[in-house]
Amino acid sequence: MLSASLASCVPCAALRPPLVPLPLDDARLQGWLWRGSSLSTAADPTLASGFAALDAELPGGGWPLRAVTELLTSQPGVLEWRLLAPALRGWWAAQALPAAAPGRRGRVVTSALRSLLLINPPHTPHLPGLQALGLPPSALIWVEASTPAQALWAAEQAIKSRVAVLAWLPEARPEQIRRLQVNALSSDAPAFLMRPERVQQQSSAAPLRLIVQPGEGWDLAVHLLKRRGPAHEGWLELPAVPGAVEPLLTAAKRKPLPAPMPEPAPAPASPPMERPHALARPVLQA
């Protein structure tokens, strides 16, 4: 009976259509698959940095909006504003676009601006200076936490609320950054973590890590320490003149001053000729 039942199943298997591999849509998979030798082209949205040279090296062509980005610098509170101001200005400019449908009495309805939380900045935020960078004062919120745990909690809640975040977390541990990265996967707002340059050897779940240093003149020297793609070699020199200072600078002041030419060393003076004393003459023998 067992052999008969197996024989009866053979014709059924023969009637099944052969398995044909389905064609893969390269355009559809391009946003999810990437090779380690090329930059990632993920389908997640990005925010243009405002620097063409930097966008060319960032996966997706800009700052990621569903991930946290680490900025490692030795001068916190100064360099990150010059680097992030163009992107944050573009972030609010995109939100200020009028909605498609008009409101009551024919007025155009604009979308509400989402806030930017400044969590534990090392210096007191200078509101006129931030306004000169193009950041709306009504959208800026300063959060001063008493402990590192409170600063971390504020950053986590802000990311969950889908608002832009600039958090200075010098003492954050790798597992805490991993928690922030998990929360950022469901947000479409930029989230930047400022940390000291000395932690570059620590592991981090942030998919994008950069080292920012002062460059020549008004430039910023940027090195991509970690990104989804090949390792970044060398440094990028980004012109980052503050908007309020730019009109006051001439073309000569925008560039670093040339190094002064070393002065030629004075020629060594020749030793004076010794004049023998009259009493030191040899005695002539008679």
- How far is it, in rounded angstroms, from Cα 208 to Cα 224? 8
Residue 130: per-residue pLDDT: 86
Tell me the pLDDT band of 28, cut-offs 50, 70 and 90: low
The answer to whether residue 258 is domain-embedded is: no
- How far is it, in rounded angstroms, from Cα 79 to Cα 242? 11
pLDDT tens figures, 170-212: 999 999 999 999 999 999 899 999 999 999 999 999 999 999 9
The answer to whether residue 54 is domain-embedded is: yes
The answer to whether residue 220 is domain-embedded is: yes
Mean pLDDT, the chain, integer: 78
User: Is the model's pLDDT at 6 over the cut of 50?
Assistant: no
The answer to whether residue 200 is domain-embedded is: yes
The answer to whether residue 128 is domain-embedded is: yes
10 in helix, strand or coil?
A: helix
The answer to whether residue 12 is domain-embedded is: no
230 alpha carbon, distance to own chain's centre = 16
Residue 78: per-residue pLDDT: 84
The answer to whether residue 14 is domain-embedded is: no
Please state, for a pLDDT cut of 70, what percent of the chain lies above it.
63
The first and second tokens of residue 245, run together, are: 């200072």
CA distances from 77 to 91, 97, 123, 137, 271 (A): 20, 30, 6, 18, 59
User: Is the model's pLDDT at 129 over the cut of 90?
Assistant: no
Per-residue exposure over 215-228, b if at least 16 CB sit within 10 Å of its own CB, e if not:
beebbbbbbbbbbb
CA distances from 181 to 3, 70, 152, 177, 203 (A): 59, 11, 12, 6, 13
Q: Residue 153 maps to which CATH number?
A: 3.40.50.300
pTM of the predicted model as reported, rounded to 2 decimal places: 0.70
pLDDT tens figures, 247-285: 555 555 555 555 555 666 666 666 555 555 555 555 555
User: Is the model's pLDDT at 70 over the cut of 60?
Assistant: yes
168, 117 in Cβ contact below 8 A?
A: no
Q: Which residues span the domain enclosing 235?
A: 46-94+113-246
Q: Total structural domains in the chain?
A: 1
Q: What's the Rg (C-alpha) of the chain?
A: 32
Measured distance between the N- and C-terminal CA atoms of the chain, rounded to whole angstroms? 153
Residue 7: per-residue pLDDT: 44
Q: Mean pLDDT throughout 109-127?
A: 80
User: Is the model's pLDDT at 3 over the cut of 80?
Assistant: no
The answer to whether residue 40 is domain-embedded is: no
User: Is the model's pLDDT at 106 over the cut of 90?
Assistant: no
Q: What are phi and psi of 236, to 5 degrees?
A: -100, 135
Average the pLDDT over each of 99-108, 112-121, 132-141 and give the range with the smallest value. 99-108
